[in-house]
């Protein structure tokens, strides 16, 4: 039986699990940080090795944003520990500084709907897809992405989304297509014209459109 699908804004359920760094209680492990939980089909597979290596290299970027990474793969702690040596070697890493959950019984994969019906292992059992959950410091789900096993994730994009999530939770803006940290932002449609001068003292630009509606309001990143 799979778990209930989680929606953005839902409380991310707590869990306990064995990991490559010992047993954890997810909430205790997070402390007051944000977390990115990302799952993998299996240990000792090529795309997963590139992904875990990339995240290890990006640890300083996650730290800057107050985000702790944690991976999940459907193999044992012993297997994870052996695989970490390959990941370090592949990525030329001197250390590997985040845990990998050992979900060899697929309990969390089921609980969080991470199984991919189209990816079946040699024993005929479905593997986990590449799920990404970004959980904030209040333990709310802020982002969820599912990729198939055959497509590795772009972790620069995930950092970009985290930047947008963290900016837009305190400022009255949304970030447009292909936005990057420091780029122009859109004034939220819910901001009334009379509130613009107070919220955006440096002014905004309103783009003229064939509809005559003035919803496309651009501001430097606040």
The footprint of ligand BEZ (CB under 6 A) covers 41-42, 45-48, 119, 127, 149-150
Task: State yes or no: is 129 an active-site residue.
Answer: no
- Residue 39 Cβ vs ligand BEZ, minimum distance, rounded to whole Å: 11
Quote the DSSP letter at residue 25. E
Q: What would the 3-class secondary structure string for 156-189 be? A: HHHHHHHHHHHHHCCCCEECCCCCCCCCCEEECC
The smaller minimum CB distance to ligand BEZ, of residues 129 and 204, is found at 129
- Residue 92 Cβ vs ligand BEZ, minimum distance, rounded to whole Å: 19
The smaller minimum CB distance to ligand BEZ, of residues 24 and 42, is found at 42
- Residue 149 Cβ vs ligand BEZ, minimum distance, rounded to whole Å: 4
Integer Cα distance of 200 and 203 in angstroms:
6
The smaller minimum CB distance to ligand BEZ, of residues 41 and 69, is found at 41
The smaller minimum CB distance to ligand BEZ, of residues 96 and 179, is found at 96
Give φ, ψ of 201 to 5 degrees. Answer: -60, -20
- Residue 73 Cβ vs ligand BEZ, minimum distance, rounded to whole Å: 10
Q: Are 53 and 22 in contact (CB under 8 A)?
A: no
Annotated catalytic residue, options 48, 74, 129, 185 = 48
How much is the CA Rg of the chain, to the nearest whole Å? 20
Token pair, residue 181, equals 């940290």
Q: How many CB atoms lie within 10 A of CB 39?
A: 27
- Residue 153 Cβ vs ligand BEZ, minimum distance, rounded to whole Å: 11
> Three-state SS for 197?
helix
Counting other chains too, the contacts that 4-8 makes at CB distance below 8 Å and 24 or more residues apart are 5/113, 6/112, 6/113, 6/133, 6/141, 6/144, 7/141, 8/141, 8/142, 8/143, 8/144
Active site residue ranges: 48
């Amino acid at each position: 039986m799979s778990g209930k699908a989680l929606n953005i804004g839902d409380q991310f359920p707590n869990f306990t699990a064995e990991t490559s760094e010992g047993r954890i209680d997810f909430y205790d492990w997070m402390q007051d940080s944000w977390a990115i939980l990302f799952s993998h089909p299996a240990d000792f597979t090529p795309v997963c090795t590139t992904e875990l290596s990339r995240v290890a290299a990006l640890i300083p970027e996650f730290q800057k944003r107050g985000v702790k990474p944690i991976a999940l793969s459907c193999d044992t702690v012993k297997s994870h520990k052996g695989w970490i040596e390959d990941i370090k070697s592949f990525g030329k890493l001197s250390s590997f500084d985040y845990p990998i959950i050992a979900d060899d019984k697929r309990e969390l994969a089921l609980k969080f709907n991470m199984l991919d019906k189209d990816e079946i292992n040699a024993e005929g059992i479905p593997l986990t897809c590449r799920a990404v959950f970004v959980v904030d410091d209040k333990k709310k789900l802020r982002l969820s992405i599912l990729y198939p096993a055959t497509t590795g994730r772009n972790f620069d994009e995930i950092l970009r989304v985290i930047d947008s999530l963290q900016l837009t939770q305190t400022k009255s803006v949304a970030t447009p297509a292909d936005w990057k940290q420091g780029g122009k932002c859109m004034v939220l449609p819910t901001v009334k014209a009379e509130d613009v001068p107070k919220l955006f003292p440096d002014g905004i630009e309103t783009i003229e459109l064939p509809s005559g509606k003035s919803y496309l309001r651009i501001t430097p990143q606040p």
